[in-house]
Amino acid sequence: MSGHSKWATIKRKKAATDAARGKVFTRIIKEITIAARDGGGNPEGNPRLRLAIQNAKASNMPQDNINRAIKKGTGELEGVRYEEINYEAYAPHGVAVLIESVTDNRNRTVAELRHLISKYNGSLGENGSVAWMFERKGVILVQKENLTEDELMEVILEAGADDLKDETEFFEVITAVENFEKVRRAIEENKFKIDTASLQFVAKNTITLNEKGVEDVVKFVEAVEEHDDVQNVYSNLEF
């Protein structure tokens, strides 16, 4: 979601439970499998796989799980054939939503998502109905600790970052996709601690709602995110 740093805080609390951690592992395994399938099993030559492995390790995923997911992607082990599909929808109050999914049965997924979206007072949109409201960006959350905004700004601007936001618990760095890896490496090389790093859909413009409206949208997004085939949900809601 836009205001994704605040939304990330909400999701981090959810991920504290064992059940939620299992859900996170499932999503990361799917991402590793697809990345290895599409770009090969060597992370040095596959940026998407390298990022997926880094996120897996940040989530304390065992190395055996990572290795098995890679081998399933490259075909060394038998595995499910996944397909990546993005769905466009409207949450309550006209909030635009992009849903990233990975599925082995697209007919099942779209039917279940349509039912779920309707249940929480949203509607599934046609292709192109909301995608134009978003752009692909790199988003890196850096833990504050003793780090100052000026120190981080100097490093990321030289590496080609677009923006830096000072949030309550961490700094949020926004980059163009082509500069994402360079900026991430620069942050790491300066020993600043990265909380999460990912490619996301970021809303070009955001909308605000009252407290009740925000609650409605959060319930909608949380319900959609709980679906087994959903990887990520993004919206143009500003917290």
Boundary residue ending a domain (74, 92, 107): 74
The single residue listed with the structure tokens 């959903």 is 230
Rounded (to 5) percent helix, strand, coil in the chain: 50, 25, 25
Whether 33 and 149 map to the same domain: the answer is no
Boundary residue ending a domain (33, 50, 74): 74
pTM: 0.85
Residue 169 belongs to some domain of the structure: yes
The single residue listed with the structure tokens 């880094």 is 54
Residue 147 belongs to some domain of the structure: yes
CATH number of 32's domain:
1.10.10.200
In total, how many domains does the chain have? 3
**What are 211-237's pLDDT values in tens digits?**
999 999 999 999 999 999 999 999 999
Whether 224 and 111 map to the same domain: the answer is yes
Residue 173 belongs to some domain of the structure: yes
Q: Give every strand in the sheet of 134-143, ordered side by side.
A: 163-166, 170-175, 134-143, 194-203
Whether 95 and 118 map to the same domain: the answer is yes
CATH number of 103's domain:
3.30.70.980
Whether 56 and 13 map to the same domain: the answer is yes
* Tally of residues, the chain: 239
Residue 96: predicted pLDDT: 97
Enumerate residues 6+ apart whose C-beta is below 8 A from 110: 85, 87, 124
Enumerate residues 6+ apart whose C-beta is below 8 A from 1: 7, 221, 233, 234, 235, 237, 239
Residue 23 belongs to some domain of the structure: yes
Task: Judge contact between 237 and 2, C-beta under 8 A.
Answer: yes
Q: Which of 97, 98, 196 is nearest to 139 (CA)?
A: 196
Neighbours of 118 (CB within 10 A): 12
Residue 24: predicted pLDDT: 84
Decide the pairing of beta strands 123-124 and 83-90: antiparallel
> For the chain, which residues score pLDDT lower than 70?
1-21
Q: Which burial class, exposed, middle or buried, applies to 239 when counting CB atoms under 10 A from its CB (0-12, 13-18, 19+)?
A: middle
Whether 216 and 199 map to the same domain: the answer is no
Structure tokens at 239: 């917290």
Gyration radius (Cα) of the chain, Å: 18
Domain that holds residue 160: 133-203
Residue 79 belongs to some domain of the structure: no
Residue 12: predicted pLDDT: 53
